[in-house]
Amino acid sequence: KATKTQPSPAIDKAAFKSAVIKHLHCTLGTDENKANNHAWWKATCAAIQEQVLEGLRKTQKSHYLNDTRAVHYFSAEFLMGRLLSNNLQNFGLFDVASGALKELGVEISDILEEEPDMALGNGGLGRLAACFIDSLATMELPAIGYGIHYENGLFRQEIKSGAQIERPDSWRDYGNPWEICRPESIQEVSLYGYVETKYGENGRVLKEWHPGSIVKGVPWDIPVVGYEGKTVNVLRLWQSESSGYFNWDVFNAGGYVDAQRENVQAETISKVLYPNDETEAGKELRLIQQYFFCSCSLKDIIRRYKRAHGDDWSRFADQVVIQLNDTHPAISVPELMRILVDRAELGWDEAWGICTKVFAYTNHTLLPEALEKWPARMIEKILPRHLEIIYEINHRFMAEVDKKWPGDNAMKAKLSIIEEGNEKMVRMGHLSVIGSFAVNGVAEMHSRLVKSSLFPEFDELYPGKLTNVTNGITPRRWLKACNPALSKLIDKKIGDDWPRDLDKLQGLTKFATNKTFQKQFMKVKLENKELLADEIRKSLDLEVDVNAIFDVQIKRLHEYKRQHLALLHIMALYRRILENPDYDMHPRVFVFGAKAAPGYKLAKDIIYAINKVADKVNNDPRVNNKIKIAFLPNYRVSLAEKMIPAADVSEQISTAGKEASGTGNMKLALNGAVTIGTLDGANVEIAEEVGDDNIFIFGLTVEEVNELKATGYNPHDYYYKDPEIKAVLDWLETDYFTPGKPGALVSIKQSLLDNGDPYMVLADFRAYSDAQIAVDAAYRDKERWAEMAIINTAKMGKFTSDRSIRDYVDRVWKLSSCKIES
Ligand code: 26V
């Protein structure tokens, strides 16, 4: 039986229509006859924004009147994507808007395409933050996201002759209809300068920081609409501006132009998102970005707290919890200490007591190159007082270590916030663990590794501090909005309350073997594949067969994610077909989406190789359309929303132990794709949910990876023992895929042989190929495959971000929801 839980919409079609027309006229200065799609899009946004702002006002009033404890999610990245369709969905106004626009002669799908993505993030970590603030609003929890108002988000990727080119992403060029500037809440942030030591009453040492420059932080608020529209929280993003009063000396000396140069420097802080995912660049500007948004956000929180509690700090930790999304905001720890000790003149112990009740930290990676460390010298130059505070925190921490492990200097060196060496470095992970009351990993397996290999001594020192909160995804965006056909089918079958209670999808299990439902389910999949096929045609001028298996690998490009393992396998298939034209396989379309960090040479080489192999394979008549390769450029949230509903197979093939969680794996399975994957990150938990029969697990386990590393892994063994591996790697050295340019793809072979194959691609190749043969066989049994696909959707309840947030609320944040009064 189908239940109806959606409340009736706040406004009807006629009212929505007049709101759109009003905004065409009064906000955009155009009319129904002149308006292009862009204007229609903006007018539609403005119409829904009226509802959004009404909700925002009520929410803020209720939170204020109830003096609620709130979570403050500090993140250098929020990968929001587009907001219009989401906001319409969440207000239950999608059909109203679509009907209203139709009567105005406008197709809603066309205007949705006008919206630029808000791509203020790199990948998993940034998108997780976006899913979390969606869940927080949906669950009516008092919450605010704090981040950076980058002028340029993650670069736009173009592919020229197979190679990645980066172009700037200026997402606000023609105005962003959602954001609200709040000049009344501007903050000032100090940088550089020196620290003066003074002596106060009864010999108290006072530290005064004389900054060398001051920049302004201007807040922009993006409303975050919860499902069914009751709570509207905000994402507050800080933009840097010149404060106008630094370097007045230069100005007064007649150096007007020089003073302007300082302005330009201040504005540089929020200019661009660093595009490195999982490699720390160690750039000064990056540290300034981090401090800039943390300092603005802390001051904003404190101002709000003081409005209610004055100078009484005793309740601060009852009202405020701050979640650090990785170590990027870790400088918040010494910044809050500075404010409490130097400004509020609290004693150190009292201040530290507050700090360590306020902060909690999430670790998102174990990769050594991604663990942030800053040169002490750099911190000293930019934030001289903070370095002193960090030393003081460390000094007291070392005393604690000595109590636990008396006289053990090796232990002290190991746990110290300061890494000694040629250049002293500040370990931001250690600072975060020491300054927080809770630390979590992002999937069961990852959290286990955080405890056992990243921070084992911290786990001993602080029992219970290290825990797990498995990641999740919002089913509003990642099923309801992106896959309307499947959503409607599910509504009909089990009712429409699954978007806020995803365990309800379990109800589909009993239809998994029902022939009629299987047909309906696979018909939706086919329609979604047709839509993606259109996209592939438009984007690449490539025809693909919708009856082929759509095999999808979408994620940042990184060696540990092993897109090159997928590539070697595709080359092997191609070779098998060339050697045997009757090679028996169901046709497959391999679809990729991936951006490489601009400075990551091998990652760019892998993109180039995929495109070059694609050129050859797609145009080789001998392949007889059994293989097509589609590398879709500029992978981003809005493209993911088109690819995910169309996927049959989800590639999750990272080296075991390397992918902290993965969240794309959850999105694809939720939309009925079957996973081929390693026992890594959340794949392990996905396998537990769907059962071994409904997933293709292959490859080395973490233990086996470590064992093989320890006993000496030699990729050459695999190269010489497996003729197919040898043939495929040797092929890369020829000019077969790069006519006239022999050796253009050789760096991949080199990394796998000469460079020791750090992610054990060759060790897993054969197991992967065998698993793909099993996938092929399973797909050919139409009913079996439909059953698997349905089970995958049905068993994804655990992976709603509502469950992740519920875990954080119960175990870390201790928050209560707040009903919004109308
Ligand atoms: C590092 C850096 C280094 C400096 C420049 C900018 C930058 C940006 C991001 C990072 C670290 C990214 C870590 C990350 O995204 N981890 C991913 O987090 C996901 C959400 O928890 C998780 O699903 C993925 O497995 C994990 O790789």
Residue 769 scores a pLDDT above 90:
yes
- CB burial class (10 A; 0-12, 13-18, 19+) of residue 800? buried
Using CA atoms, how far apart are residues 487 and 536, in angstroms rounded to an integer?
24
450 C-alpha to center of ligand 1: Å? Answer: 15
CA angle at 699 for the pair 695 and 702, rounded to the nearest 5°:
105
Ligand 1 in contact with 281 (CB < 6 A)? yes
Ligand 1 in contact with 123 (CB < 6 A)? yes
Identify the CA nearest to 84 among candidates 94, 74, 72, 71: 94
Using CA atoms, how far apart are residues 33 and 534, in angstroms rounded to an integer?
29
Q: Which residues contact 115 (CB under 8 A, 6 or more apart)?
A: 41, 45, 82, 83, 84, 638
**Predicted confidence band of residue 259 (pLDDT cuts 50, 70, 90):** low
Single-letter code of the amino acid located at 630? A
State pLDDT tens for residues 589-643.
Answer: 999 999 999 999 999 999 999 999 999 999 999 999 999 999 999 999 999 999 9
Using CA atoms, how far apart are residues 147 and 294, in angstroms rounded to an integer?
8
Residue 6 scores a pLDDT above 70:
no
Using CA atoms, how far apart are residues 50 and 225, in angstroms rounded to an integer?
12
Ligand 1: residue of 364, 450, 595, 685 to mutate (most ligand atoms within 8 A of CB) is 364
Output the average pLDDT for the chain.
Answer: 96
Q: 5 or 35, which is more confident?
A: 35
**ipTM entry:** 0.95
Residue 69 scores a pLDDT above 70:
yes
Using CA atoms, how far apart are residues 496 and 499, in angstroms rounded to an integer?
7
Give the mean pLDDT of 743-751.
98
CATH T-level topology, domain 509-805: Rossmann fold (3.40.50)
Using CA atoms, how far apart are residues 87 and 226, in angstroms rounded to an integer?
8
- The tokens for 548 are 């082929």
State pLDDT tens for residues 430-468.
Answer: 999 999 999 999 999 999 999 999 999 999 999 999 999
pLDDT (0 to 100) of residue 336: 98
592 C-alpha to center of ligand 1: Å? Answer: 20
Ligand 1: residue of 122, 272, 686 to mutate (most ligand atoms within 8 A of CB) is 122
165 sits in the region (left: phi over 0; alpha: psi -120 to 50; else beta) called beta
Phi, psi of 142 (to 5 degrees): -70, 115
Residue 2 scores a pLDDT above 50:
no
Ligand 1 in contact with 672 (CB < 6 A)? no
Atom of ligand 1 nearest to the CA of 662: 23
CB-CB contact of 297 with 236 (8 Å): yes
Using CA atoms, how far apart are residues 108 and 635, in angstroms rounded to an integer?
23
Lowest mean pLDDT among 244-258, 394-408, 708-722: 244-258
**Predicted confidence band of residue 764 (pLDDT cuts 50, 70, 90):** very high
Identify the CA nearest to 582 among candidates 629, 614, 622: 622
Distances (CA, A) of 585 to 144, 625, 769, 784: 51, 11, 13, 17
Long-range own/partner contacts, residues 734-737 (CB < 8 A, 24 or more apart): 736/616, 737/609, 737/612, 737/613, 737/615, 737/616
**What residue ranges of the chain are covered by domains with CATH 3.40.50.2000?**
509-805
